[in-house]
Amino acid sequence: MNTVVDILSWGFLLAGGAFCAIGALGLVRMPDFYTRMHAAGVTDTLGAGLMLFGMMLQAGLSLVTVKLIMIGLLIFFTSPSATHALARAARARGLQPLLATGKGPSKRS
């Protein structure tokens, strides 16, 4: 039983780590400020969420799991607020987003 939980937990931790890495890669690859924020969103939600869940499996039914849930809730409420504030600030400063033209996907400039 312990082995099954361990393997599951490892799976979630590895998947979370992979999404964090993908988010970081997106941060580098995306062409402008706003599109980069979308890449960071993957790290915030899937990366952090899956890793927290993996850690909860390790902690089992204990106070540590409750604290991990609290951390999850904190991220769940603060990360979109911070993202929104950042995007709004950029727009208020007059930073224009790179937008797609025509029908096809936009080209990297």
17 binds other proteins (CB under 8 A): no
- Integer distance in angstroms from the first to the last C-alpha of the chain? 53
29 binds other proteins (CB under 8 A): yes
Cβ(55)–Cβ(42) below 8 Å: no
91 binds other proteins (CB under 8 A): yes
Sites for other proteins among residues 39-68 (CB under 8 A): 39, 41-42, 45-46, 49, 63, 66-67
Residue 109 CB coordination number (10 Å): 6
Q: How many amino acids of this chain bind other proteins (CB under 8 A)?
A: 41
Q: Which residues 6+ apart lie within 8 Å of 51 measured at CB?
A: 12, 13, 16, 17, 20
The two structure tokens encoding residue 94? 């007059």
Residues that bind other proteins (CB under 8 A): 19, 22-23, 25-26, 29-32, 34-35, 37-39, 41-42, 45-46, 49, 63, 66-67, 70, 76-77, 79-81, 83-84, 87-88, 91, 97-100, 104-106, 108
